[in-house]
Amino acid sequence: MKLQNSEVKENLIKRLKRIEGQMRGVQDMLSEERDCREIMQQLAAVHSAVQSTSREFFRHYAAVCMAEMGQENGGAKTSQQREKMVEELILLLDKTP
């Protein structure tokens, strides 16, 4: 399954580029031997941004899965197929930071 909504994709890409910039900033801070507290604060911000982006991606991915669940076979997806899809979503959620 893929995200079809181009606006969602653009938003996620913007978030990831911002995170990429934050990581470069942390690298610079390390090179400049900045205070550990400042570096930890920036790392915490990166962590939070990654979590937020993961949740946003998962929300849209799950919505696509649920929409497809209702469309396949004229909406007559078997109970076993639905259970498998939910299991896959839970496994993916377990892997998100």
Q: How confident is the model over 72-82, as pLDDT tens digits?
A: 555 555 677 77
Q: What per-residue confidence (pLDDT) applies to 71? A: 62
Long-range contacts, stretch 57-63, CB < 8 angstroms, 24+ apart: 57/3, 57/12, 58/92, 58/93, 58/96, 60/3, 60/5, 60/8, 61/1, 61/3, 61/89, 61/92, 62/89
Q: What per-residue confidence (pLDDT) applies to 94? A: 75
pLDDT digits (tens, 9 = 90+) for 47-83: 999 999 998 888 888 888 777 766 655 555 567 777 7
Angle at 73 (CA atoms; ends 69, 74), nearest 5 degrees: 90
* Residue percentage of the chain with pLDDT more than 70: 88
Q: What per-residue confidence (pLDDT) applies to 34? A: 97
pLDDT of residue 96 exceeding 80, the answer is no
Q: What per-residue confidence (pLDDT) applies to 77? A: 59
Rounded Cα gap, residues 86 and 55, in angstroms: 16
Note whether 67 and 2 are within 8 A (CB): no
